[in-house]
Amino acid sequence: MKKILVTGGSGFIGSHTCLLLLEEGHEIFVIDSHINSSPKSLERLSTIIEAENIFLNGKLHIYKGDLRDNKILKKIFLDANKNGGSIDAVLHFAGLKSVSESFNSPMLYWDANVNSTINLLKVMEANNCKTIIFSSSANIYNSKTPQLTTENSEINPVNPYGRTKAVIERILTDIFESASDTWRIANLRYFNPIGAHPSGFIGEDPQGVPSNLFPFITQVAAGRRKELTIFGNNWPTKDGTGVRDYIHVMDLAEGHLRALKYLLDSKPRLLNLNLGTGKGTSVLELIETFEKVNKVSIPYSFVNRRKGDLPITIASNELCKTCLNWTPQRTLEDMCRDGWKWQLQNPKGYFNSNENF
Ligand code: NAD
Ligand code: UFG
């Protein structure tokens, strides 16, 4: 059992990963400002865990706060020390993630993503906690071809959001190089996580209009939005729409557990790893699969390309498979089915949801 600090643990990927950490018996300390999430996601974890006959026994500690606030970070580390031991590792999910918002409000993104991380790293260092898994992104690459993106592909992000992620990776690399005999760091570069826990109890609940494709599709299917607008039908791809590497959020969460174990069991190191499936799916293919699996219809129309988009991004996941012995298990059909189950059970996300289903 380890003590793990999870930043942004109420969010989409964080909440699914927290569930697996608790299932493995870890004690977790979650900090989240709820700028893009609901505290209910963590309440739901207890429901899932209890149904599995696992007893939490005070192993879930929740703090509402912002990573830029030193006081609350210091308090978490102090609290973790109270019953002996200390925070063993940090899973750092907290951050803002909308590409279009990052164009409109770059300062917000540099502050929320980079300054938060610097603050976190300072408090970690002061507490001699030197193991961190960082939520990086496929957005740091500048892939324009159907070739798989490897970890050695060019890093040259085309939007402010991606640039904040690339800079955080740079900071982490500099820190590692300054004391490579002490730090354990994994930059996990996610491709496109979608889907939900198969229970339908937790899932993706973006605040406001979703900027990502999949939650938009589920909200159109649920009648919350009239139609999907597809950003461009003239990309150099198989059907003219953008191609992405969609990965089930549970596969992604499992990747974190593997990375954590690997880091904690090995000597200090810096890892840069893609987390994706190696398969490309176009917007039209995703819609078609979603309609077929769930027997629903997704009306759509085409509009101009979105600023900062790339035509095609597909991961090479060979390094992750070898290094972590991790292979994504779930299909695109699983992602569509589980994501729809979450949306159906929670038509308004966590807001006003019926807690007794
Ligand atoms: P999310 O918005 O659901 O989760 C992020 C969480 O961080 C939210 O709960 C939010 O309230 C919290 N948060 C944001 N800024 C904070 C701050 N300063 N202090 C405390 N809490 C803060 O997003 P997600 O999809 O779960 O993504 C998690 C991480 O993975 C993000 O860093 C994101 O950039 C990265 N990522 C996401 C994707 C994706 O497509 N979902 C892809 C690549 C990388
Ligand atoms: N798209 C639409 N209509 C929409 C939303 C998206 O046509 O309403 C298209 C986009 O143009 C793109 C594809 O659907 O071709 C996927 O777009 P997303 O916004 O779902 O995903 P992105 O690949 O642009 O970016 C996402 C996250 C980033 C993350 C990145 C990793 O927003 O945080 O995946 O690949 F870094």
Which ligand 2 atom sits nearest the alpha carbon of residue 283? Answer: 14
pTM given for the model: 0.96
For residue 356, what pLDDT is reported? 39
**Dihedral sign computed on CA atoms, order 336, 195, 305, 152:** negative
Q: Which residues line ligand 2 (CB under 6 A)?
A: 97, 99, 137-139, 190-192, 211-213, 216, 228-231, 242, 244, 283, 306, 309, 313
**Superfamily of segment(s) 3-350:** NAD(P)-binding Rossmann-like Domain (3.40.50.720)
Which ligand 2 atom sits nearest the alpha carbon of residue 228? Answer: 8
For residue 357, what pLDDT is reported? 35
For residue 137, what pLDDT is reported? 97
Per DSSP, the three-state class of 261 is: helix
Q: Which residues contact 354 (CB under 8 A, 6 or more apart)?
A: none
Distance, CA 276 to ligand 1 centroid (Å)? 18
Give the side-chain half-sphere CA count within 13 A for 207: 11
* Dihedral-angle region of residue 240 (phi above 0 means left; psi in -120 to 50 means alpha; beta otherwise): left
Please identify which of the residues 141, 161, 246, 262 carries the catalytic annotation.
161
Please name the helix (run of DSSP H) or strand (run of DSSP E) that holds residue 282, with its range, or none. strand 281-282
Which ligand 1 atom sits nearest the alpha carbon of residue 68? Answer: 18
For residue 206, what pLDDT is reported? 86
For residue 355, what pLDDT is reported? 44
* 161 assigned to active site: yes
Domain regions of the chain by residue span: 3-350
Each residue's pLDDT tens digit in the chain (357 positions)? 999 999 999 999 999 999 999 999 999 999 999 999 999 999 999 889 988 888 888 899 999 999 999 999 999 999 999 878 899 999 999 999 998 899 999 999 999 999 999 999 999 999 999 999 999 999 999 877 778 999 999 999 989 999 999 999 999 999 999 999 999 999 999 999 999 999 999 999 988 889 899 999 999 999 999 999 999 999 999 999 999 999 999 999 999 999 999 999 999 999 999 999 999 999 999 999 999 999 999 999 999 999 878 899 999 999 999 999 999 999 999 999 999 999 999 998 997 554 433
Q: Which two tokens stand for residue 99?
A: 């590409």
SS3 track for 194-218: ECCCCCCCCCCCCCCCCCCHHHHHH
Indicate if ligand 1 lies below 6 Å from the C-beta of 137: yes
Question: CB-based burial of residue 256 (10 Å sphere; 0-12 exposed, 13-18 middle, 19+ buried)?
Answer: buried
